[in-house]
Structure 1
Amino acid sequence: MTARTLSRTLRLALLALCLLAGGCGLLQADRQMKRLDAAVYFTGIVETENAARGPIVVVLYKLDGPPEPVFLDVVPRTRGVYHLAAPPGRYGILAFEDVERDLRYRAGEPATLYEGVALGMEAVDQPPSAASGLGRIRIPAAPPAKVLPAVFDEAYEALVRRRNEVFGASAAIDEGRFAPEQVRAGLFQPLGFIAEGRSGLFLLEPYDPQRIPVIFVHGIGGSPRDWAHVIDKLDRTRFQPWVFFYPSGVSIGLSALLLNNALDELHHRHGFATSIVVAHSMGGLVVRGALNIVLREGRTPPVHHVVTISTPWLGHAAARWADIGPTRVPGSWLDMAPDSAFLSDLMVVPRPADIRYTLFFGYGGASRWVSGNNDGTVSLQSMLPAGIQSRADFVFGFDEDHASILRSDEMVDKLMQRLRAEADPLPASR
């Protein structure tokens, strides 16, 4: 391949991402995206020796100078997945069984401590090594004999407040947290987006145990505002709308983990028996990834019906070239390459038979940048692979493009029919 051909291919890849993201801020974002490499993300398993009497809290705190908490995660069961993210440096990790259920460590609660953990750039997007002992954290039944570090200060209280603000907090579609500038920050400065507590699962009205939650998940470069027309038509006597807002620039796997953690927390808090998830574009990949996390842990998802709209199950051909050249692109776009590790692994876990699946797609586009028939952004080949169609309970197409399908009255009417058909006679809460 000549340099001229390679440059043209890279431009096509970047243009395709701009189409998916609804704008072309990518070409000015090289410096911002390179900052992603300066952060460390890892995940592992945390568990208690005996059955937990409350959720497990995992706290990451700085060791250079006075202990300063920088990241907080909660696992509401005896064993589960934790995730942490921070700039490179020396850290400590404190994990404790939150018997008092207030997210604060109390004397006498079982706990374990790691100190001197060095996080470097080589660990970005990789699980911790076995040598570090961080892949699996085990909390003994007995309280620790040594005095634990004083990390529970004002900074820790701020982490707790931030967490409570984004997991189940009230929100409105038109409020500033979902504004275009926040969307751009999530796409091009995603780790800062997470650290500042802008990602979360939000309730558009107070929780009602008598109504089934419908969780809306946007695509790359999107926000809950994309769902305004759909939510406006939702039957509020039977359903309650929740919206998941995530930084679409991080890897799809991390977004899936954020969704899993948020849904897990609200299920633990409210005890709803089931829910419905509706996802657009890349959001469908995020949802499937989140379900895989639940299934691999041997848990039963609190979901009985999934609807995906215009999801690129086979990725986007232009994404193959996104990591070539000096321009740094979002990790989610790298995962969109048809042969990426994420997409290859996505369908390994079988979907449970008791989770119903509706597949919607658009065929009203004619982009010359996308091969074959397409919706203007994603090819029909990617949206309609045989393996996905064969597993769907309902498949329907609309003469709409990738964006207009969410504003289509025909699509919304069909979606509402599907929600009603799959809702009866399911209970809303246990």
Structure 2
Amino acid sequence: MARLLVLGLLALLGGCQLLELDRQYASAQRELLLIPGTLQGSEQALVALLDPQARLLAYRIVQPGGLFYFSMPAGDYQLLAFSDRNGNLRLDADEPHHWLPQARTAPFRVQPNAEQRSQLGQLNLLQPELASHSRATPPALDLSQAYRELPRLQHNYLQVVDFDDPRFSPQRVSQGAWQPLDFLSEVGYGLYLLEPWDADKEPIVLVHGINSGPPVWRELAEHIDRERFQLVLFHYPSGLPLNHSAYLLGEALRDVQLRHRPQRFHVFAHSMGGLVARRAVQLLSAGGGTDRQCLFLTLATPWDGHPSAADGIARAPVVAPVWRDLAPGSQYLQSLFATPLPAHISQWLLVSYSGNSRLLEQPNDGVVPLASELRAAAQDEAQRLFLLAEDHTSILASPRSQELIRRALSELPDSGCR
């Protein structure tokens, strides 16, 4: 599990996993491309990616001024953006839209920095409110049919599973860490349910950490009131750059709100999952995407990164992109607290401090340095901070954790967040 950071980085530097990871990314740079852009205007828009025959391939929900991107095999693509003013997920004749029959593309980049992302965003500027006067007739577009047209969504989006689903197996967990592009091809990102969607329940989104999967939540899930709360499992390959997983988690949560309109929702995360989830919440907050999020609770999250990631960058012949994000002082970690989360979101930090490992110089929980869990910026934003006499994994099965989660949920008001 997350112990990979301590043991794996030291034992596998230059090993076959790293070589395979390098091969995967080299292959991606040869075979994939990016279709990036920026939405201009004053309204949220749905941005659809179409093939040359105008068949839907994917879509994004984009806020005004927001950057978006799609990673696809080399080829020709169209972009069609529209302001869905009546909320029916279809492009109607009177709705502002912008159609680019020949979308501009860019070479695939594994980990573009902020300046590069901004430059990529200029490739396809979408202006539905200004472009609607064009005489060109756009293709018919009905995103309400997306879950019948896109096979991956039929299997991975709000489908009912259990914790023993083969997609969550140890073999798939390892694949997500070391062969993430194979994982994307064979499994893909997922947002799963443990019971059918119930509009009367409040969703709690559970985000796992590195070299891990949804089953880590099994014991805590047994102690959450399932009559009141809907558990939603986010599944992602932990070997990919964190910004990519955060972006897609944010997109998934926008989609849930667009289609199901929950009155409020909450996000819980363990270990590195907290780094993914916080960035997703930051991205969501643009355009009011977190107006209904009330609680953000993290367990054993390395807010200040991990020294073994820096060691891997310094010593390994091949560098895993996720190490760059996890290295103390990385651009990703700096960005996490550059913008505070909205004040109405109650932030709870559960910190583990037992199980000290001699593989780390600093006091730690067996995997993560205590100082990283207690990053000052994370403490400053937290409404509640608790230190638990647990190690990095036992915190997920701790009676104390169960009690604190019950307390956090019971303190929510009858309606709204504060």
Q: Above 0.5 in TM-score?
A: yes
Say which of 47, 53, 78 aligns to 1:93.
78
Distance 1:79 1:313 in 2: 28
SS at match of 1:304: strand
Asked if structure 2 preserves the Cα contact closer than 8 Å seen for 1:322 and 1:334, the reply is no
Asked if structure 1 preserves the Cα contact closer than 8 Å seen for 2:62 and 2:68, the reply is no
Say which of 385, 390, 394 aligns to 1:404.
394
Q: Is 1:84 aligned with 2:84?
A: no
Aligned twin of 2:112: 125
Q: State the Cα deviation string for residues 354-393 of structure 1 (Å, max 9, x = none).
A: 1111111111122112122110000110001233223212
Q: Is 1:32 aligned with 2:17?
A: no
Q: Which amino acid aligns with 1:198?
A: G
Q: Is 1:425 aligned with 2:418?
A: no
Distance 2:181 2:148 in 1: 18
How many Å apart are 1:20 and its aligned residue?
7.9
Give the RMSD, CA atoms, in angstroms.
3.6
SS at match of 1:165: helix
Using structure 1 for the length normalisation, give the TM-score: 0.81
Q: How does 1:181-330 map to 2 (within 5 A)?
A: 181-196=171-186, 198-297=188-287, 299-324=289-314, 327-330=317-320
Say which of 38, 45, 58 aligns to 1:72.
58
Count residues with an aligned counterpart. Answer: 402
Return 5+ residue gaps in structure 2 as ranges.
none
Structure 1 residues 323 and 289, CA gap change in structure 2 (3 angstroms) = same
Aligned twin of 1:347: 337
Asked if structure 2 preserves the Cα contact closer than 8 Å seen for 1:20 and 1:377, the reply is no
Q: State the Cα deviation string for residues 81-124 of structure 1 (Å, max 9, x = none).
A: 4221134x343232232869787878997341152734325675
Aligned twin of 2:125: 136
Q: Which amino acid aligns with 1:33?
A: L
Q: Percent identity?
A: 30
Using structure 2 for the length normalisation, give the TM-score: 0.83
Q: Which amino acid aligns with 2:102?
A: E
SS at match of 2:197: coil
Distance 1:415 1:159 in 2: 39
Q: Which amino acid aligns with 1:389?
A: Q
Distance 1:131 1:310 in 2: 35
Structure 1 residues 329 and 416, CA gap change in structure 2 (3 angstroms) = farther
Aligned twin of 2:38: 45
Aligned twin of 1:163: 153
Distance 2:315 2:78 in 1: 37
Asked if structure 2 preserves the Cα contact closer than 8 Å seen for 1:18 and 1:26, the reply is no
Q: Which amino acid aligns with 1:293?
A: L
Q: Which amino acid aligns with 1:280?
A: H
Structure 1 residues 269 and 93, CA gap change in structure 2 (3 angstroms) = same
Distance 1:361 1:292 in 2: 22
Q: Which amino acid aligns with 1:115?
A: Q
Q: Which amino acid aligns with 1:271?
A: R
Distance 1:319 1:159 in 2: 41
Q: Which amino acid aligns with 2:277?
A: V
SS at match of 1:323: helix
Q: State the Cα deviation string for residues 280-307 of structure 1 (Å, max 9, x = none).
A: 0011111110111123456544311111
Say which of 139, 162, 170 aligns to 1:172.
162
Distance 2:286 2:92 in 1: 32
Distance 2:217 2:121 in 1: 43
